[in-house]
Amino acid sequence: MYNAGMQGSKPRTPYHEFYADDFTPRDHYRLLWDHIRATGNNALEAKAHESQLALQAEGVTFTVYGESEEGIERIWPFDLIPRIITAPEWVKIESGLKQRVRALNLFLGDLYGDQKIIKDGVIPPELIYQGRDFRREIVGIVPPRGIYTHVSGIDIIRDEKGEFLILEDNLRTPSGVSYMIENRVIERRILPEFFNKYRVRRVEHYPSLLLAALRALSPRGAANAEIVLLTPGIYNSAYFEHTFLAKEMGVELAEGRDMVTVNDIVYLKTTTGLQRVDVIYRRIDDDFLDPLVFRSDSSLGIAGVINAWRAGNVAIVNAPGSGIADDKAVYPYVPDIIRYYLGQEPILNNVPTYQMTNVKDREYVFDNMERMVIKAVSESGGYGMLMGPSSTPALRKEFVDLVQENPRNYIAQPVVYLSRHVCYMDGELEARHLDLRPYVIYGDDIEVVPGGLTRVALRKGSLVVNSSQGGGSKDTWVLAE
């Protein structure tokens, strides 16, 4: 993929989203900047306090897992200063994401079908056959209209030059969209005057977009769609989001034990008897979805649901097997996947990536570990990751062993100094690194909700933005013009 030696050793300055230089804000931030300077820190403090109260009152929480199994529920961390994306910037992001999601769905259909891309030598077979998330159980099943990932959350970062790069595709059960909406609700309350001045595009219609996409998949027709959001339960870190989306869409929230498959039809057990289910928006992983087919020890899923899906009696969103397309070892091939299926150059580039199965790449990474991020390919949420710059020699040694034991399971990327933005932290305006997760819905067409979840690394200098690793968030304003 990349040649060793591409990393210069000169110190690099991250891109600043807010400031053009030490004294001037970028044009699209000027209104906000003027306002902050005019009202001063006391006004900001009052607004920060107001946002905290609102989050508490709304019960916007998330769960962090650490050493203990239980997990701790915390109030969602929100920074009141919005992140603004201009209309031309958004055009590029939007078209790049549509292109990527279209190509990845064609890729999935091919992998679970003829595997032309392997036969043509574009993708090495080991990558797929040794991937934990290639699901042999669904080979030959074609989901409605060949769509696998009805909901994607794709992580984008901005490098030192300000170029938007794709960091990660999340095609399984991406979370965070409820926080995108809650952030907007809070922001509208505390900075109402700016929403007129700035012509910020709406994001609150996300649940209705998702609902329309789910309805359209109903085997009995959209008018009769009985939709269920399948949650693993209250101990899941995204349970808040599951309840939020079920409520917003007006669909049932259920656990696997609330459902039963009878002769290839899935039913919800209700007080008035069994009620047929047409569409399952599942927020549990493939592994746990059907104990008859996948992990037999799972008590979270619905036995027989895969056979019902094969029979065409129920739709599952996202389709089982989607995870192989966001496997981090497949990620370096996504630009080639776009070229192969669409005959186009990628609009948004990847972050340079080293494959640990490649001996040269591996040696280079071992020699430069302080400047690398090493990631386990099937993990997400910042788990199973080594951040080179802040790592200890002992941890680096541990990762060398892990990589050598199972090279297919790891990739490495040079640390990208994520762009920065001002945040209001304990009475001061401070710069913090951030990324962006926009949400893409693939229904009748591919639609990117104008906005997304901007995640902020709250610790000074930190490049880890995951909520599970102590990240915060901002409202994201995509401008109409």
Partner 1 sequence: MRYIIEHETILEYPQGVREHHVELRLAPRSDGHQRVISCVIESEPTAERASYTDYFGNRVDYFCVIPLHNRLVTRLRSEVETLKENPFNFEAVTPAQEDLWLCDAVLRSPPLNDFILHRSLLTLPVIKLAEILRCAVPKPDRSRPLLESLLELLAWVPTVLEYRSGTTEVHGALTTAVQQGSGVCQDFAHLFITVARSWGIPARYVMGYLDPGISAEDEKLATHAWAEALVPGAGWIGFDATHNLLANDHYVAVAVGRDSYDAAPQRGSFKGDFSGEQPTVTVTMQEQ
| Interface with partner 1 (CB under 8 A) | 115, 118-119, 125-126, 128-130, 136-137, 139-140, 257, 260-264, 291-293, 296, 303-304, 307, 310-311
Taking the CA atoms of the chain, what radius of gyration do you get in angstroms?
Answer: 23
Q: Which is nearer to partner 1, 126 or 163 (CB)?
A: 126
CA distance 112 to 309: 15
**Minimum separation from the CB atom of position 406 to partner 1 (A):** 11
Long-range contacts at 252-255 (CB < 8 A, ≥ 24 apart): 252/226, 252/227, 252/228, 253/228, 253/229, 254/228, 254/229, 254/230, 255/230, 255/231, 255/300
Partnered with residue 428 across adjacent β-strands are 425
Q: Which is nearer to partner 1, 131 or 232 (CB)?
A: 131
**Minimum separation from the CB atom of position 307 to partner 1 (A):** 6
CA distance 327 to 318: 15
Q: Which is nearer to partner 1, 185 or 260 (CB)?
A: 260
Q: Which is nearer to partner 1, 87 or 260 (CB)?
A: 260
Q: Which residue, chain included where needed, has tokens 């409520």?
A: 247
**Minimum separation from the CB atom of position 129 to partner 1 (A):** 4
350 with 335: CB under 8 angstroms? yes
Q: Which is nearer to partner 1, 129 or 383 (CB)?
A: 129
Q: Which is nearer to partner 1, 137 or 287 (CB)?
A: 137
The contacts of residue 300 (CB under 8 Å, 6+ apart) are: 232, 233, 255, 256, 284, 288
**Minimum separation from the CB atom of position 439 to partner 1 (A):** 32
Q: Which pairing describes strands 315-317 and 279-282: parallel, antiparallel, or unpaired?
A: parallel
Characterise 127 by phi-psi region: left (phi > 0), alpha (psi -120 to 50), beta (else): alpha
Q: Which is nearer to partner 1, 126 or 444 (CB)?
A: 126
**Minimum separation from the CB atom of position 264 to partner 1 (A):** 6
**Minimum separation from the CB atom of position 131 to partner 1 (A):** 11
Question: 433 phi and psi, to 5 degrees?
Answer: -75, 150
**Minimum separation from the CB atom of position 256 to partner 1 (A):** 10
Cis peptide, bond prior to residue 358, ω within 30 of zero:
no
Q: Max alpha carbon distance in the chain (Å)?
A: 69
How far are the Cα atoms of 45, 131, 144, 320 from residue 317, in angstroms, in the given order? 42, 21, 11, 8
| The two structure tokens encoding residue 202 | 């709406």
CA distance 48 to 103: 42
Q: Which is nearer to partner 1, 125 or 427 (CB)?
A: 125
Residue 427, classified by CB atoms within 10 Å of its CB into exposed (0-12), middle (13-18) or buried (19+), is exposed
Q: Which is nearer to partner 1, 47 or 135 (CB)?
A: 135
- The HSE-up count of residue 402 (CA atoms within 13 Å, CB side) is 17
Q: Which is nearer to partner 1, 119 or 202 (CB)?
A: 119
Partnered with residue 84 across adjacent β-strands are 477
Length of the chain: 481
